Amino acid sequence: MPKLDKMSNDELITISKKMFYGGFAFLPFLWLVNVMYFFTMCRKSTAPPALRKYVLMSLAGCILSFIALTTWYAVFVNKRVQWGQSADTITVVIPKGV
């Protein structure tokens, strides 16, 4: 895999753009990889504005999806017993006890 410094700006933007749009396919982990991969390149003053835009939007998407998944997990764990049979149908492993 070529180093980031040796890639052209168009190649960097293309890769970052694909990773950003790939994150919408229920792959928020791809947004995190995009941020981690291009963060140091994005902080340079010579970074293209489009690259910075996709990295920052990936960061925002990653944070929002983390908040949404964490909130869903907290609600589901606390309300699973109250939801009864409907919660059991979407549970992969049903814990023993109440």
Beta carbons of 12 and 41 less than 8 angstroms apart: yes
Overall number of domains in the chain? 1
Q: Which domain holds residue 45?
A: 7-89
The answer as to whether 18 is a domain residue is: yes
Does 97 have pLDDT greater than 70? no
The answer as to whether 56 is a domain residue is: yes
pTM: 0.81
Q: What is the pLDDT of residues 16-66, one digit of tens each?
A: 999 999 999 878 899 999 999 999 888 888 889 999 999 999 999 999 999
Residue type, 20: F
The answer as to whether 98 is a domain residue is: no
CA atoms within 13 A on the CB side of 90: 11
The answer as to whether 22 is a domain residue is: yes
The answer as to whether 94 is a domain residue is: no
